[in-house]
Amino acid sequence: MQRYLWRKTGGFLLTALLVSLATFFILQVLPGDPALLILGTEGSPEAYALLRRELHLDQPLLQRYVQWLADFVKGKWGNSWRYSLSVRELVGQAFPLSFALALLAVGVAVLAALPVGLLMAVRPHSPLSQLLSLGTQLGLGLPQFWVGILLIQLFAVELQLLPAGGREGWGSLLLPTVTLALPRMAILSRFLRAGLLESLGEDYVRTAQAKGVPGPVVLFKHVLRNAALAPLTAAGVQFAQLLAGTIVVEQVFGLPGMGQLLLNGVFQRDLPLVQNVVMLVVLVILLFDSVFDLCLGLLDPRIRYE
């Protein structure tokens, strides 16, 4: 077990390091001069030289990378170029909202996928299952921002039941959560259905049935436990996609979360903001993934000895 833990931790650190390299490379090495981005084309050569020194652009690349990484780890994320705030303060304002939204969406998706997946697996050829199967296919294909716009139109404009966005208590998170959870739910229920169908054909199911164990007990006690592993693994991988969805959904509903912070940073060419926010978000994704992996390892001893 301990060896397994060490290997996982090592893998996590290595992946994080590679991501930091990729982020740094895209933002700092590819053609494009940050100093020119800030000053525009009107800046004088002196101001340009001064700015380059201030941003440490005159130093060698490797040194800049190591410096940034060291600062990032220490929590010194620097100041935003456009806001008169530090990146840390900006993140502090935006992070809780996005995090709550993401957790809510995962929760809703898992809770909703359970009955849908069960229904589709137990009666695979009934009309309801066919309908649900079509529904999950649609859930995968519908663009999230479109669903969001339609939900706003329906529940906020026409029916006036819920706020269209902004931060007015928990009610304002309801529509974004549903929007974000929909494709997640579709994928999870499809995985669950596939896992259940596979497990239902196993020998131990027939043994249990032959022993006279009631159907529902077989389903929940024997089959579900074995079938849930695949969708749970999938749920872990979903965090990265969830984040991408959060950026779009926050934009639709005008929620001031990490997605909006990042997007503002992109459009205003706020390099320190973008660089550190991306790194932070990816770290959260990786952390979630690793914790998830560990939990799966605890649940299923087979995984540990792979």
Partner 1 sequence: MALTVLGWFYTPYDPNETRVVERFQPPGWPHLLGTDHFGRDVFSRILWGARVSLAVGTAAVCVGALVGVALGLAAGYFGGFWDELLMRVGTALQALPSILLALLFATIWSPGVPVVLWGIALGNIPSFLRVTRSQVLSIKERPYVEAARALGASDLRIVLRHILPNVGSALLVQFSVSLAGAILAEASLSYLGVGLQPPHPSWGRMLREAQAFGSLAPWLVLAPGLFIAAAVVGFNLLGDNWILGRERLYKGE
The first and second tokens of residue 164, run together, are: 């269209």
**Minimum Å distance from CB 30 to partner 1?**
6
**Minimum Å distance from CB 219 to partner 1?**
26
Strand partners, 79: 86
Q: Does residue 90 interact with partner 1 by CB under 8 A?
A: no
**Minimum Å distance from CB 140 to partner 1?**
6
CA 132 to the chain's CA centroid? 25
Q: What is the DSSP string of 182-231?
A: HHHHHHHHHHHHHHHHHHHTSHHHHHHHHTT--HHHIIIIIIHHHHTHHH
Which x/- pattern over 111-150 shows residues binding partner 1 (rule: CB under 8 A)? --------------------------xx-xxxxxxx--xx
Cα dist from 15 to 20, 241, 280, 282, whole Å: 9, 17, 13, 10
User: Would you put residue 85 in left (φ > 0), alpha (ψ -120 to 50) or beta?
Assistant: beta
Considering only residues 162-221, where is the footprint of partner 1 by CB under 8 A? none
Q: Which is nearer to partner 1, 201 or 212 (CB)?
A: 201
CA distance 165 to 173: 8
Q: Which amino acid is at 306?
A: E
Q: Find the angle CA(217)-CA(223)-CA(185) to the nearest 5 degrees.
A: 110
Q: Considering Cα of 103, then 105, then 106, then 112, what sign does the dihedral take?
A: positive
**Minimum Å distance from CB 180 to partner 1?**
13
**Residue of the chain from 65, 251, 292, 294 that contacts partner 1 (CB under 8 A):** 251
**Minimum Å distance from CB 186 to partner 1?**
10
**Residue of the chain from 50, 161, 217, 244 that contacts partner 1 (CB under 8 A):** 244
Which x/- pattern over 21-60 shows residues binding partner 1 (rule: CB under 8 A)? -xx--xx--x-x-x--x-----------------------
Question: Cα-flanking dihedrals φ and ψ of residue 79, to 5°?
Answer: -105, 145
**Minimum Å distance from CB 213 to partner 1?**
32
Tell me which residues touch partner 1 (CB under 8 A). Answer: 11, 14-15, 18-19, 22-23, 26-27, 30, 32, 34, 37, 137-138, 140-146, 149-150, 152-153, 157-158, 237, 240-241, 243-244, 247-248, 251-252, 262-263, 265-267, 269, 271, 274, 278, 281-282, 285-286, 289
